[in-house]
A and B are shown apart, each in its own frame.
Chain A
Amino acid sequence: MIEIRFHGRGGQGAVVASKVLADAAFRENNDVQAFPYFGVERRGAPVTAFTKIDDRHIRNKAMIYEPDYVIILEASLISAVNVTEGLKDNGLVLVNTKDDPDEMAKRLGVKRAACIDATQVAIDNKLGSKFQPIVNTAIVGAFSSVSGVVKKESVVNAILALPRYAERNAQAARDAYDQVRISGGA
């Protein structure tokens, strides 16, 4: 089973990101689960969401404590929440930031990190507002690129099934797929 934990703030779309990723994997004939863990359902509060992907039926209903991947929708959460808690030894952290992935890996104390300026990608694709861009679809596109867990087309198809601004969101995923950078120069 592949386990992915999302950290975001209420209103950024972490919950939708977890569902889009699950839907993409579901389209590749996997069993999936996507679910949120809310503290309080309000804008700005830290939100955690989970996606589980397996080629076997998933019965485990517990939250994720030892993720293979951690996806951070806003870099300010790094100092607010223990984002790398339980990350598997060879796990990967994907962060929405302009920063360099090697420096990010060092800062987080992890072996592998990837960075995407999902905020800029979202603004370029007119998703949300300049002050509150919706970065969730961009970050799932970037995740597809650095992890290989799901194909780009699957992510795009999952996004195209969303009720609003589907094409702009799909383009954000494609852009982020191309722009994401990973530590170690890969």
Chain B
Amino acid sequence: MVKELLTGNKATAYGAMLARAQVIPAYPITPQTTIVERIADLISEGRMETKFVKVESEHSAMAAAVAASNTGARAFTATSSHGLALMHEVLIWAAGARTPVVVVNVNRALGPPWSVWADHQDAMAQRDTGILQFWCENNQEILDTVIMAHKVAEDPDIMLPALINQDAFFLSHTSEPVDVPDQKMVDDFLPPFNPKEKLDVDDPKGFGSLVMPPQYMEFRANMARSMDRARDLIRKVDKEWEGLTGRSYGGMMDMYRCEDAESILFGAGTMMSTAKDVVDDMRNEGRKVGIARLRIFRPFPVDEIRYLADSVKAIGVMDRTYTFGQGGPLYNEVNAQLYNHTNQPFTKNYVIGVGGRDVVPRHIRSLFDDLEKVRENGYGEEGEIHWWGLLDGKTPREEM
């Protein structure tokens, strides 16, 4: 293995190269553009044997990827924000067609107001498409996840597309040291994609055609079962990768110092990496705190949330977006898993870092303080959802 300084976008391109993606249709969008540029460089340098397809939109990028996957090619693409929103229809198609395309999404806010900065609305809005969702906190995890996601998605028992999420700028444009695994090792880990059924002009078959109502529901239930089966496979693939590289991302969830924790914060992306530093500081002060970082959003880490619920007293859920109408998406998911569970810790929702607002160590400490105070004294007038750091005066000024 060789360590190189890579941005999240370069790590993405290297992941696609090492996974030997055969077809990459892509359309550029800030802050994803350098992924496409780097892939074009790697192809022109002869380091990737990949058919790059220039397209006129993200909708077409995903459509071309699905078609390539249908022929039995390993297909990859990358996008961000409005680009992912435009792909939405074809993500649903990819899942229904059981084409395991891997998509890297640079998490960016949607407009208006126009914004190019980190936000999780783009990915969370794809919750119900049937796409597997992986979330990353550093560039090493991005590179590793591109390879692992292909393995999970292409498994004959799964056959679903995968979305890999990395925060705009905080990862996409941040250079940090990344171990670039040996190609031979990756080849042994990830064999060529070879689906049972594929488009073949010499052996014509129909794909994605009309079915009558009795059949459609059976197809949908099959998808649901595949998605559920992915949990065990994700844990297994994570262990296998750890055996090869020494790097594990926790399987279905990344738990940091949660063993004897009383209060934990749960959330996704780079802000949870920052939060781990704060947990170390607070542990040194005798505070029993921990971090649960979302690693997989679909399928949801039900067992892991319930496992935590059995030991912790409070879960603060950090959402870098909002479901307009009621609570952040992760908050709603966590509460849903707790309702039918025997142990129900106290929960509170913190909407934070929306549209690229920086989440700094001071904020994490304030959230833990607030969580413990509210657990003892009740929600009060403010209720269970707190948009942290707004100018409305509800967040103490010194903690903004």
User: Which residues of A are interface residues toward B (Cβ below 8 A)?
Assistant: 19, 22-23, 26, 31-38, 41, 58-63, 65
Q: Is the CB of B273 within 8 A of A61?
A: yes
* Chain B residues, Cβ within 8 Å of A62: 274, 358-361
Q: Is the CB of B271 within 8 A of A32?
A: no
CA distance A33 to B5 in the complex (A): 9
CA distance A45 to B119 in the complex (A): 24
Q: Is the CB of B358 within 8 A of A63?
A: yes
- B172-210, CB under 8 A of A: which get 1 and which 0? 011111000000000000000000000000000000000
Q: In this complex, which of B30, B176, B276, B358 has the most chain A Cβ atoms within 10 angstroms of its Cβ?
A: B176
CA distance A36 to B177 in the complex (A): 16
- Which residues of B, 132-182, contact A by the 8 Å Cβ criterion? 137-138, 167, 169-171, 173-177
CA distance A23 to B5 in the complex (A): 7
Give the distance to chain A from B284, nearest Cβ to Cβ, in Å.
15
Known: A23-B5, A33-B174, A35-B170. A61 touches B271 (CB 8 A): yes
Q: Is the CB of A61 within 8 A of B270?
A: yes
* Chain B residues, Cβ within 8 Å of A33: 174-176
**Is B277 at the interface (CB under 8 A from chain A)?**
yes
Known: A60-B361, A62-B360. A36 touches B169 (CB 8 A): yes
CA distance A38 to B276 in the complex (A): 26
Q: Is the CB of A41 within 8 A of B30?
A: yes
User: Which residues of B are interface residues toward A (Cβ below 8 A)?
Assistant: 5, 30, 116, 137-138, 167, 169-171, 173-177, 270-271, 273-274, 276-277, 358-361
A-B contact pairs, 27 of them (CB 8 A): A19-B5, A22-B5, A26-B5, A26-B177, A32-B175, A33-B174, A33-B176, A34-B5, A34-B174, A37-B169, A38-B169, A58-B176, A59-B138, A59-B276, A59-B277, A60-B273, A60-B274, A60-B277, A60-B361, A61-B137, A61-B171, A61-B174, A61-B271, A61-B273, A62-B274, A62-B359, A63-B358
Give the distance to chain A from B24, nearest Cβ to Cβ, in Å.
23
* Chain A residues, Cβ within 8 Å of B138: 59
* Chain A residues, Cβ within 8 Å of B271: 61
CA distance A10 to B226 in the complex (A): 48
The closest CB in chain B to the CB of A63 belongs to: B358
Q: Is the CB of A22 within 8 A of B359?
A: no
The closest CB in chain B to the CB of A31 belongs to: B177
The closest CB in chain B to the CB of A52 belongs to: B176
Q: Is the CB of B175 within 8 A of A61?
A: no
The closest CB in chain A to the CB of B270 belongs to: A61
Q: Is the CB of B173 within 8 A of A36?
A: yes
The closest CB in chain B to the CB of A51 belongs to: B175
* Chain B residues, Cβ within 8 Å of A19: 5, 175
Which one of B137, B176, B274, B359 contacts A32 once the chains associate, using CB atoms below 8 Å?
Answer: B176
Q: In this complex, which of A31, A33, A62 has the most chain B Cβ atoms within 10 angstroms of its Cβ?
A: A62
The closest CB in chain A to the CB of B30 belongs to: A41
CA distance A114 to B174 in the complex (A): 27
CA distance A26 to B171 in the complex (A): 18
CA distance A59 to B270 in the complex (A): 9
CA distance A38 to B174 in the complex (A): 12
* Chain A residues, Cβ within 8 Å of B273: 59-61
* Chain A residues, Cβ within 8 Å of B30: 41
Q: Is the CB of B174 within 8 A of A65?
A: no
Give the distance to chain A from B246, nearest Cβ to Cβ, in Å.
14
The closest CB in chain B to the CB of A22 belongs to: B175
CA distance A33 to B273 in the complex (A): 13
The closest CB in chain A to the CB of B269 belongs to: A61
* Chain A residues, Cβ within 8 Å of B274: 59-62
Give the distance to chain A from B297, nearest Cβ to Cβ, in Å.
19
CA distance A58 to B175 in the complex (A): 12
Q: Is the CB of B174 within 8 A of A35?
A: yes
Q: In this complex, which of A58, A60, A65 has the most chain B Cβ atoms within 10 angstroms of its Cβ?
A: A60
CA distance A60 to B170 in the complex (A): 10
* Chain A residues, Cβ within 8 Å of B276: 59
CA distance A185 to B147 in the complex (A): 55
* Chain B residues, Cβ within 8 Å of A41: 30
Give the distance to chain A from B111, nearest Cβ to Cβ, in Å.
14
* Chain A residues, Cβ within 8 Å of B358: 62-63
* Chain B residues, Cβ within 8 Å of A63: 358, 360
CA distance A33 to B137 in the complex (A): 14
Q: Is the CB of B361 within 8 A of A34?
A: no
Give the distance to chain A from B356, nearest Cβ to Cβ, in Å.
9
CA distance A60 to B360 in the complex (A): 8
